[in-house]
Amino acid sequence: MKAKYIYKCLMIAFAALLLGSCSSPEVDSKFDENATDRLSGRQKELNDLLLSSADGWKAVYYTDSTQLGGWTHLFKFLPGGKVDMASDFTGKDGEIDTKTYQSQYNIQLGSTVSLVFSTQNRIHLLSDANNYPTAALLAKGYLGDFQFYYYGEKDGNIIFRTNRNGHFLRFVKATPKDWTDLPGNVPMIKNITGDMNSPLFRLLEINDGTATKNYDFSYNASARFGTGYSIDPAVNTSYDLALSFNPGGVYSKLPLDVKGQKLTDFLYDAPTNSFVATGKDGVKATIKYTNAPPRLTDNYKVTLPAAGAPSTAYGYIAANLSAAPTNSQLCMYLLNEINNASVAKVNRVQFTFYNNRTVDIMYSFTGGKATVYHRATVTEDAVNKTIILKHSLWHNGTSVIAADALVKNLDDKLMDPKGLYVTRESFRITYSNTIYTFTCASSSFRITTYAFQ
């Protein structure tokens, strides 16, 4: 009993001591003070680091490499909470502003120490919810942050973790060359995005050292993200590339794995206007343009009604289809060229294919200009899966007339000697009519039409 009594007394005394320690204002104050001192020390450590690099810091910011590429940012931190910043972000208008802008930053104390870019600058373009690169990111923007949690220094780099999704972001010491090279990213961005005259289609060509396979490369210039889909319907393989840019080409954070070799650096080859990643033993991957659709179909046969069959018709209607995403830049340029030349505006461009292998291309206008027709013969190119239109005559519905000079540049594209690809699209616009596009085989011209049968 005595031993039990002594044991019980000891336990009561220990509990009282423990409770007294936990509730002691002196101990609580000392613990808080240590935590504050520790965070304050980290705050000073980060600020000193930011100011320590004479040429600032560089970060290639991938906000989410599963669906977005990367954006290069340069920061020069200055006393007084100021920062000079530049980036290669592409604006809504397609322009890329690499100029340097000054704003404010501060280092906040919370559960940890964080770097906050407190006034508007280039980094905020990635966090603007109203500016989003894909439909999936509606109201989410580019998933970017302007607050970064400090995790420490490693190998001379500053390591942060993003506030929004917890990804690590590394600030690397910048050099004078990084600042002068940044504008050099712009030509590479434009080379892979293309312009009005660039071919409409892209291929990802992969050579494993013994054989070459082609993939339809779908690239979103705003997201800087592309996916190569196997052209062979029997092969269910695709490759994602999350791209960032440099003056020599592009880098993919998602490696392209070819026979165990991980290809990430695609160098720009000016003579072929392509980006090439080269491995060992003949392994190579190339991103390149092509005028031919990667997947050829028999859709063109709808323009070849059999003898005795009704005619088929397909029409571009400006009021409904001028904003169709499948109209190419070149198509819109040529339509606007006509519209800006006089009071006449293109109302409709319509193909009517007859069962005797002829077609009437109708051009109708608002503004008082009469409708004109270009009649042509239709030849099937079964190998290349195109139709070739050859001039017969111009008419106004009742009489033969001279060629209409106003529509010449647009009409010349439809008379492409190499032919037109015809594609049945899977989407609809305003009405239930099936959408067909007509694409030149030798240029970037593509026009969107409704089917009228």
Q: Could you list the pLDDT tens digit for every one of the 453 residues in the chain?
A: 444 444 444 444 444 433 344 443 333 443 455 666 777 789 999 999 999 999 999 999 999 999 999 999 999 999 999 999 999 999 988 899 999 999 999 999 988 999 999 999 999 999 999 999 999 999 999 999 999 999 999 999 999 999 998 999 999 999 999 999 999 999 999 999 999 999 999 999 999 999 999 999 999 999 999 999 999 888 889 999 999 999 999 999 999 999 999 999 999 999 999 999 999 999 999 999 999 999 999 999 999 999 999 999 999 999 999 999 999 999 999 999 999 999 999 999 999 999 999 999 999 999 999 999 999 999 999 999 999 999 999 999 999 999 999 999 999 999 999 999 999 999 999 999 999 999 999 999 999 999 998
What is the Cα–Cα distance from 413 to 8, expressed in whole angstroms?
100
Helix (H/G/I), strand (E/B), else coil: 115: strand
DSSP string, 202-271: EEEEEEESS-EEEEEEEEETTTTEEEEEESSTT---EEEEEEEEETTEEEEEEEEEETTEEEEEEEEEGG
- Whether 362 and 349 have beta carbons less than 8 Å apart is answered as yes
What is the Cα–Cα distance from 380 to 69, expressed in whole angstroms?
42
The tokens for 3 are 């031993």
- Whether 57 and 148 have beta carbons less than 8 Å apart is answered as no
* Domains of the chain, residue spans: 52-174, 188-290, 299-451
Q: Which of 201, 109, 225 is nearest to 445 (CA)?
A: 201
What is the Cα–Cα distance from 412 to 67, expressed in whole angstroms?
39
User: Is residue 194 packed enough to be buried (19+ CB in 10 Å), middle (13-18) or exposed (0-12)?
Assistant: middle
Q: How far is CA 55 from the centre of its chain?
A: 30
CA-CA-CA-CA torsion sign (36, 37, 38, 42)? positive
How many C-beta neighbours within 10 Å does residue 367 have? 11
pLDDT, one tens digit per residue, over 212-223 is: 999 999 999 999
- Whether 127 and 113 have beta carbons less than 8 Å apart is answered as no
CA angle in degrees (0–180, nearest 5) for 259-224-336: 130
The pair phi, psi for residue 68, each rounded to 5°, is -140, 155
Q: Which CATH number fits domain 188-290: 1.10.357, 3.10.450, 2.30.110, 2.40.128?
A: 2.40.128
CATH class for the domain made up of 52-174: mainly beta
Q: Which CATH number fits domain 299-451: 1.10.8, 2.40.128, 1.10.3470, 3.40.1350?
A: 2.40.128
Of the chain, the end-to-end C-alpha distance in Å amounts to 104
